[in-house]
Amino acid sequence: RALYIHSPHLQSLPDLRLEPATFSLTIRYGLFEKQLTLLEEAEGGFDQFTRSYKGYGVQRMPDNSLVFKEWAPAAEALFLTGDFNGWDNFSHPYSKKDFGKWELHIPPKEDKTPAVAHNSKLKVVVHTSAGERLYRISPWAKYVTRHEKSVIYDWVHWDPPQPYIHKHPRPQKPRSLRIYESHVGIASPEGKVASYSNFTHNVLPRIKDLGYNCIQLMAIMEHAYYASFGYQVTSFFAASSRYGTPEELKELIDVAHSLGIIVLLDVVHSHASKNTEDGLNSFDGSDSCFFHSGPRGEHSLWDSRLFNYSGWEVLRFLLSNLRWWMEEYRFDGFRFDGVTSMLYHHHGIGSGFSGDYTEYFGLHVDEDSLLYLMLANHILHTLYQDCITIAEDVSGMPTLCRPVQEGGLGFDYRLAMAIPDKWIQILKEFKDEDWNMGNIVYTMTNRRYGEKCIAYAESHDQALVGDKTLAFWLMDKDMYTNMSALIPMNSVIDRGIQLHKMIRLLTHGLGGEGYLNFMGEQLQLIQNAAAHGNNESYHYARRQFNLIDLDHLRYRQLYAFDRDMNRTEDKYGWLATPPAYISAKHEGDKVIVFERANVIFIFNFHPTNSYSNYRVAVGPPGKYKIKLDSDEIQYGGHGRLDHNTEFFTEPMEFNNLPNSILVNKLYYLWQNKDLHN
Q: Any catalytic annotation for residue 392?
A: yes
Mean pLDDT in residue range 614-626: 96
pLDDT tens across 164-194, in order? 999 999 999 999 999 999 999 999 888 889 9
| Cβ-based neighbours of 11, under 8 Å, separated by 6 or more | none
Query: Which domains, from first to last, does the chain contain?
Result: 1-44+307-387+399-414 (no CATH), 52-157 (2.60.40.10), 177-301+388-398+415-574 (3.20.20.80), 577-672 (2.60.40.1180)
> How many CB atoms neighbour CB 71 within 10 A?
24
Question: Long-range contacts: 422-426, Cβ < 8 Å, 24+?
Answer: 423/457, 423/458, 423/470, 423/503, 423/507, 424/458, 424/462, 424/467, 424/470, 424/473
Residue 48's alpha-carbon distances to 52, 310, 329, in angstroms, are 7, 19, 19
3-class SS shares of the chain: helix, strand, coil, % to 5: 35, 20, 45
The secondary element (H helix, E strand) that includes residue 584 is strand 581-586
Share of the chain above pLDDT 70, in %: 91
Helix (H, G, I), strand (E, B) or coil at 673: coil
Catalytic residue among 254, 284, 337, 451: 337
| pLDDT at residue 383, rounded to an integer | 98
Kindly indicate the confidence band of residue 350, based on its pLDDT and cuts at 50, 70 and 90: confident
Phi, psi of 195 (to 5 degrees): -110, 165
Mean pLDDT in residue range 588-604: 97
Sign of CA dihedral 464, 470, 475, 478: negative
Residue 543 has pLDDT above 70, yes or no: no
Kindly indicate the confidence band of residue 64, based on its pLDDT and cuts at 50, 70 and 90: very high
Our separate counts of H helices and E strands in the chain read 15, 28
Rounded to 5°, the CA angle 643-647-653 comes to 150
Catalytic residue among 392, 406, 412, 562: 392
Instruction: Note the Cα 657 to chain centre separation in Å.
Output: 38
* Beta bridge mates, 646: 625
Beta-sheet strand order (sheet of 57-60) = 57-60, 66-71, 101-106, 95-96
Residue 115 has pLDDT above 70, yes or no: yes
| pLDDT at residue 526, rounded to an integer | 43
CA gap 540, 464 in Å, rounded: 10
DSSP state of 484: B
| pLDDT at residue 5, rounded to an integer | 43
CA gap 391, 402 in Å, rounded: 12
Residue 532 has pLDDT above 90, yes or no: no
- HEC letters along 186-221: HCCCCCCCCCHHHHHHHHHHHHHHHCCCEEEEECCE
Q: Any catalytic annotation for residue 434?
A: no
Helix (H, G, I), strand (E, B) or coil at 589: coil
Q: Are 369 and 306 in contact (CB under 8 A)?
A: no
